Amino acid sequence: MVQVPQQVPRPFAGAALTHAGPSGNRGRHRLRDYNESVEFALRDFRHEEFETLWRIDQQCFAPGISYSRLELATYLQRPGAFAVVADGSEVSRTRTRSGTLNQGQSSAVTVGFIVAETGSRGTGHIITIDVLPDARGAGIGWQLLRVAEDRLRAAHCQSVILETAVDNKAALSFYKRHRYTVIKTLPRYYSNGVDAFVLKKDLLSPPEPAKLPQ
């Protein structure tokens, strides 16, 4: 039998950011370093794209924090676990010799995902939120979080918890903006000795409206 490492839920990375239908929400925004506006769609994770999600995770988190293939596969297969993927679609352009731009076909690329799970006693759990560097700051992390919260409500979860490092100011600011509050500290929670805050949100309060970028 394969020995599975003990689960250590992911801290929200400061440089990165975790409705019920497969094609979910859509939004239009501009990704940094992209020449065109990009539309993203949220959908359910498909098992054949596991390697894509694992590679995204390696880009979003440092070694020692990023998941091994075994860890990520295990979390995706846990009872009550689900994952939602954000796909971005960009329209390519090519420049002619005269200097004009020709619009080409759109192409889709996965830019982020969230893994969450329903838990015992009516409490859900956000395991990880991953958004690629070029896609950050465009509202994708918030949309992934919102969809996960909606699914946890539908599964009769009354609240949701997550963990983040006490020195991760960007993460704390993000979650507090979305009504998460610190409920306790876990000393030396991470392998580097950093403490973690446990944050919690009441899912019975009215859900927040969508906040797509303009």
The 10 Å Cβ neighbour count of residue 201 is: 20
For the segment 50-76, what is each residue's pLDDT rounded down to a tens digit? 999 999 999 988 776 788 899 999 999
Please state the pTM of the whole predicted model: 0.73
**In sequence order, what are the residues at sequence separation of 6 or more whose Cβ sits closer than 8 angstroms to the Cβ of residue 209?**
none
pLDDT (average), residues 74-79: 94
Label residues 173-182 b or e (16+ Cβ within 10 Å = b). Answer: ebbeeeebee
Strand partners of residue 42: 86
| Percent with pLDDT over 70 in the chain | 69
Q: Where are the alpha helices (DSSP H) in 103-213?
A: 140-154, 169-177
Q: Which range has the worst mean pLDDT, 26-30, 68-72, 76-80, 165-169? A: 26-30
Instruction: Give the confidence band of 191 by pLDDT, cuts at 50, 70, 90.
Output: confident
The dihedral over CA atoms of 185, 209, 204, 86, expressed in degrees to the nearest 10, equals -60
Q: How far is CA 175 from CA 14, 30, 97, 106, 162, in A?
A: 12, 23, 48, 33, 10
Contact 17, 201 (CB under 8 A): no
For the segment 102-116, what is each residue's pLDDT rounded down to a tens digit? 555 566 789 999 999
Q: What domains are defined for the chain? A: 26-92+106-157 (3.40.630.30)
pLDDT at 31 over 90: no
Instruction: Tell the residue number behind the tokens 């394969």, with chain if given.
Output: 2
- Structure-block tokens of residue 115: 């893994």
pLDDT (average), residues 89-95: 51
